[in-house]
Amino acid sequence: MTNLPGSTQIIPFSRSPQGDMFFGAGAYAEALARLQLMVTNSCLGVLTGEVGSGKSTLIRRLVQELDPVRYQVIYLSQAGMKPRDFYGDLLRGLGEEPNFYLSKSKLLLEQVLNYRALQRDKSLVVIIDEAHDISPSMLLELRFALNHQMDSASLLSLILVGQPELRRILRMNKYEAIAQRIHLQYHLSGLTAQESATYIRHQMKQAGLTTPIFADSALSLIHSETKGIPRLINTICTHALYEAKRNGSEVVEDAQIGRILTDAERQRGTAM
């Protein structure tokens, strides 16, 4: 494999996949369709998934596909986000300066949203990432935005993105009012064995590498060890390709994958 990675400038299994390398099959196609419905229906939606399952890639793809003439996207991601952070970032995203007093910032946001609705301005898409980690007071504060959303004239989509813990949190009694307003939700699980193999081949093809490199036995072991989590697949495949290039191997076998996994356990003290 002396020509790997070849003339292409695309890394097949980069940690942060490029938008044009998005794998839109199976569960990921369904997840993207749900996200698009959340936006077109101007509703509250929830996307959950394990770390490395592809949530961020899906959100990037969603934003790429939204018409900037029709939609304005505000992306919020802050560990332990509190109401003051929420209103401040949201108002700044809308071109307004938040007030020192929280109550006045809330009033200003309401006025801005009402004005946008009257002017038939762009629909607003608010994405809150790492939502499993925002403060309890912030989750309760979302009722304010949701109350505005209930206005038929409002064109506001609110999408909560987080780890599986978010689902458990939203089932708590104190968040029942919020849970009842969730119109669409989707949990992103790992790829199936077939999807994992297709994903790997897809990434190789997108990078300009059309010759089969991973043996079926290697593909099977990769899926077994990663449970179909794309980020883990990317990590293992990247190590495998560079080792194959270094050794001049034309095919990646399961034995090579096994050595990579063993080395990862030895270096990190945990399985990859």
Give me the pLDDT at residue 266, please.
81
Determine the Cα–Cα distance for residues 35 and 29; give it in Å rounded to an integer. 10
Average pLDDT (80-104) is: 93
Q: Give me the count of residues in the chain.
A: 272
Give me the pLDDT at residue 127, please.
97
Determine the Cα–Cα distance for residues 123 and 195; give it in Å rounded to an integer. 35
Classify residue 75 as exposed, middle or buried by CB count within 10 Å of its CB (0-12, 13-18, 19+). Answer: middle
Which tokens hold the place of 23? 């794998």
Instruction: Report the CATH number of the 191-266 domain.
Output: 1.10.8.60
- Residues of CATH 1.10.8.60 domain(s) within the chain? 191-266
- Residues of CATH 3.40.50.300 domain(s) within the chain? 41-188
pLDDT per residue over 103-145, tens digit each? 999 999 989 988 888 888 889 999 999 999 999 999 988 887 7
Which tokens hold the place of 98? 């938040």
Give me the pLDDT at residue 98, please.
93
Q: Are 260 and 19 in contact (CB under 8 A)?
A: no
Determine the Cα–Cα distance for residues 243 and 260; give it in Å rounded to an integer. 9
Q: Are 138 and 127 in contact (CB under 8 A)?
A: no
Give me the pLDDT at residue 218, please.
96
Give me the pLDDT at residue 154, please.
62
Q: What is the DSSP letter of 252?
A: B
- pLDDT exceeds cutoff 60 at 148: yes
- pLDDT exceeds cutoff 50 at 2: no
Backbone angles phi, psi at 34, to 5 degrees: -65, -45
SS3 185: strand
Among the ranges given (9-18, 94-103, 156-165, 178-187), the one the predictor scored with the smallest mean pLDDT: 9-18
Q: What are the residues whose beta carbons fall under 8 Å from the beta carbon of 68, sequence distance 6 or more?
A: none
pLDDT above 70 covers a percentage of the chain that reads 88
Determine the Cα–Cα distance for residues 62 and 70; give it in Å rounded to an integer. 14
Determine the Cα–Cα distance for residues 182 and 146; give it in Å rounded to an integer. 10
Cis peptide before 5 (omega within 30 of 0): yes
pLDDT per residue over 198-255, tens digit each? 889 888 887 788 788 899 999 999 999 999 998 999 999 999 998 888 888 889 999 9
pLDDT per residue over 28-44, tens digit each? 889 999 999 999 988 89
| Ordered alpha helix ranges (H), the chain | 26-40, 55-65, 83-93, 102-118, 136-149, 165-170, 176-179, 193-206, 216-226, 230-247, 254-268
Mean of pLDDT over the chain: 86
Q: What are the residues whose beta carbons fall under 8 Å from the beta carbon of 267, sequence distance 6 or more?
A: none
- pLDDT exceeds cutoff 90 at 171: yes
Domain 41-188 falls under CATH 3.40.50.1110? no
Give me the pLDDT at residue 78, please.
84
